[in-house]
């Protein structure tokens, strides 16, 4: 999705000039079936359009290529318009996620005699028409399906590990195995790892399978890596603590192995702290 936005921004003057010139050639005098036919013939990338009064309150249905929706009549659309720029007779929005279709689009607001025409263009189709991106629907469907299978598998196994942690602890409580330090820490480790796997699967679904949840402005979102790393580090720290307890109770000769594990975790925490510092520094630079 970020690639679509970058490609549009790099070619926005050319695309906007084409849209405005084409609208100038389309006679927009009456809001009727002939206008629908002319607009969708001139713009294959057009998703829907509607009309508003001079106060930007919608006074027509949402008109798609094959249907109309009446529920949006009366909605205030002023949030889509920059009132200073519309004085030129038109306004073209930045790319955003359409609430009507769930796809990435731009809205062109075009002044007419008794109000404004709002036209929503599907950004991917618009860029494909200009040859700025290649059209490969089969690969896109295959890619999304693959992510859906992988993300769904991670969600399933994450839930399975979490339920397994509760199941084993419940077994200890009813006396299947004697209660000990091991029986307390093992379910905790299972829950921590299950949470990490589940969160990773959820993020894959949000970012790759459900595109309407993506944030257009984010080039890299470190939240997923941070959450996953924190869960893994916590699980390893718990395991290291358990190893120390075992050695202190049974065999002090194995203490160097526990020390090595703790030293490795300390190094991992140091690397993780540097990563967080660099991420926050990058965010501060991008906001300044």
In the three-class reduction of DSSP (H, G, I as helix; E, B as strand; rest coil), residue 92 is classed as strand
Domain containing 90: what range? Answer: 2-129
Inter-residue long-range contacts of 65-70, CB under 8 Å, 24+ positions, other chains counted: 65/36, 65/40, 69/100
Q: Burial of 152 by CB count in 10 Å (0-12 exposed, 13-18 middle, 19+ buried)?
A: middle
Give the pTM: 0.54
Under a CB-based contact definition with an 8 Å cutoff, are residues 231 and 196 in contact? yes
Last residue of a domain, one of 85, 113, 129: 129
Last residue of a domain, one of 76, 106, 129: 129
**Segment among 14-18, 141-145, 187-191, 260-264 with least mean pLDDT:** 187-191
| pLDDT at residue 213, as a whole number | 44
Percent of the chain with pLDDT over 90: 22
Determine the average pLDDT of the residues in 49-67.
Answer: 92
Residue ranges of E strands in the chain: 46-52, 62-63, 68-69, 90-92, 96-97, 104-112, 115-122
- Kindly give the pairing relationship between strand 115-122 and strand 104-112: antiparallel
Determine the average pLDDT of the residues in 185-193.
Answer: 78
**148 shares a domain with 118:** no
**Segment among 38-42, 128-132, 143-147, 270-274 with least mean pLDDT:** 128-132
* Residue 286 pLDDT class (50, 70, 90 cuts): low
Last residue of a domain, one of 92, 108, 129: 129
**229 shares a domain with 106:** no
| HSE of 153, CA atoms in CB hemisphere, 13 A | 5
The number of domains in the chain is 2
| pLDDT at residue 205, as a whole number | 80
| pLDDT at residue 118, as a whole number | 94
**283 shares a domain with 144:** yes
**250 shares a domain with 162:** yes
**268 shares a domain with 150:** yes
**50 shares a domain with 186:** no
Buried b (16+ CB within 10 A) or exposed e, 118-137: bbbbbbbbbbbbeeebeeee
**146 shares a domain with 97:** no
CATH of the domain at 37: 3.30.450.20
* Residue 136 pLDDT class (50, 70, 90 cuts): low
**107 shares a domain with 24:** yes
* Residue 174 pLDDT class (50, 70, 90 cuts): confident
End-to-end CA distance of the chain: 24
Determine the average pLDDT of the residues in 9-30.
Answer: 85
**144 shares a domain with 122:** no
Residue 287 has pLDDT above 70, yes or no: no
- Phi and psi, residue 57, nearest 5°: -95, 125
**283 shares a domain with 142:** yes
> Which pLDDT tens digit goes with each residue over 246-255?
777 666 777 7
**223 shares a domain with 163:** yes
**116 shares a domain with 156:** no
| pLDDT at residue 219, as a whole number | 45
Residue 150 has pLDDT above 50, yes or no: yes
| pLDDT at residue 117, as a whole number | 92
């Amino acid at each position: 999705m970020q690639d679509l936005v970058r490609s549009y921004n790099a070619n926005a003057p050319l695309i906007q000039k084409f849209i405005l010139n084409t609208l100038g050639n389309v006679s927009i005098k009456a809001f009727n079936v002939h206008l629908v036919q002319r607009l969708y013939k001139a713009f294959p990338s057009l998703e829907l359009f509607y009309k508003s009064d001079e106060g930007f309150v919608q006074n027509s249905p949402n008109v798609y290529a094959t249907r109309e929706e009446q529920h949006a009549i009366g909605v205030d659309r002023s949030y889509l318009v920059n009132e200073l720029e519309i004085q030129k007779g038109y306004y073209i929005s930045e790319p955003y996620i359409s609430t009507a279709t769930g796809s990435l689009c731009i809205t062109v607001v075009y002044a007419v005699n008794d109000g404004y025409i709002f036209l929503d263009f599907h950004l991917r189709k618009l860029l494909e028409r200009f040859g700025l991106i290649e059209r490969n629907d089969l690969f896109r469907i295959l890619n999304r399906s693959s992510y859906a299978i992988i993300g769904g598998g991670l969600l399933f196994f994450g839930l399975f590990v979490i339920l397994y942690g509760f199941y084993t602890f419940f077994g200890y409580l009813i006396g299947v195995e004697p209660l000990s330090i091991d029986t307390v820490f093992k379910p905790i480790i299972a829950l921590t790892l299950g949470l990490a796997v589940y969160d990773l699967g959820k993020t894959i679904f949000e970012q790759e399978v459900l595109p309407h949840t993506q944030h257009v402005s984010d080039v890299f979102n470190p939240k997923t890596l941070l959450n996953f790393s924190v869960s893994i580090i916590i699980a390893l720290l718990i395991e290291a603590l358990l190893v120390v307890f075992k050695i202190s109770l049974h065999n002090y000769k194995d203490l160097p192995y526990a020390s090595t594990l703790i030293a490795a975790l300390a190094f991992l925490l140091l690397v993780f702290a540097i990563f967080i510092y660099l991420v926050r520094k990058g965010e501060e630079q991008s906001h300044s």
